[in-house]
Homo-oligomer: A and B are copies of this chain.
Amino acid sequence: MAKEKKLVEAITSMEEDFAQWYTDVVKKAGLIDYSSVKGCMILKPDGYAIWENIQKELDRRFKETGVENVYLPMFIPESLLNKEKDHVEGFAPEVAWVTHGGLNPLQERLCVRPTSETLFCDFYKNDIQSYRDLPKNYNQWCSVVRWEKETRPFLRSREFLWQEGHTAHATAKEAEDRTIQMLNVYADFCEEILAMPVVRGKKTEKEKFAGANATYTIEALMHDGKALQSGTSHNFGDGFAKAFGIQYTDKENKLQYVHQTSWGVTTRLIGAIIMVHGDDSGLALPPQIAPVQVMVIPVQQQKEGVLKKAMELKERLKKEGVRVKLDDSEKSPGWKFSEQEMRGIPIRIEIGPKDMQAGQCVLVRRDTREKTIVLLEQLETAVKELLEKIQNDMFERAKTHRDAHIYDAHNYEEFTQIILNKPGFVRGMWCGEQECEDKVKEDFAATARCMPFQDQEKISSVCVCCGKPAQKLVYWGKAY
Known contacts A45-B138, A68-B45, A101-B147: A159-B74 contact under CB 8 Å = yes
In the complex, A12 has a CB within 8 A of chain B: no
Determine if A129 is an interface residue (Cβ-Cβ < 8 Å).
yes
Interface string of A40-82 (1 = CB under 8 A from B): 1111110011011000000000000000111111111100100
Name the residue of chain B whose CB is nearest to the CB of A331: B132
Q: CA A122 – CA B34 in complex, angstroms?
A: 10
Q: Which B residue's beta carbon lies closest to that of A4?
A: B132
A143 at the interface (CB under 8 A from B): yes
CB proximity of A138 to chain B, nearest CB, Å: 7
Interface residues on chain A, size class: 35 or more
Measured CA separation A71–B142 after assembly (Å): 11
Partner of A142, one of B45, B96, B143: B143
A99 adjacent to chain B (CB < 8 Å):
yes
A97 engages B95 (CB within 8 Å): no
Query: Inside 8 A of A174's CB, which chain B residues have their CB?
Result: none
Residues A102 and B94 in contact in the complex (CB < 8 Å), given A69-B48, A69-B52, A70-B43 = yes
A75 to B35, CA, bound (A): 10
Q: Note all chain B residues with C-beta closer than 8 A to A41.
A: 73
Q: Tell me which residues across on chain B come within 8 A of A119, comparing CB atoms.
A: 35
Question: Contacts of A102 on B, CB cut-off 8 Å?
Answer: 93-96, 147
| Bound form: Cα–Cα A393–B140 in Å | 34
Residues B42 and A71 in contact, CB atoms below 8 Å apart = yes
Complex CA–CA separation, A159 to B43 (angstroms): 22
Q: Is the CB of A71 within 8 A of B99?
A: no
**CB contact between A35 and one of B33, B72, B159 (< 8 Å): that residue:** B72
**A-B residue pairs, 4 tightest by C-beta:** A40-B73, A101-B147, A45-B68, A43-B71
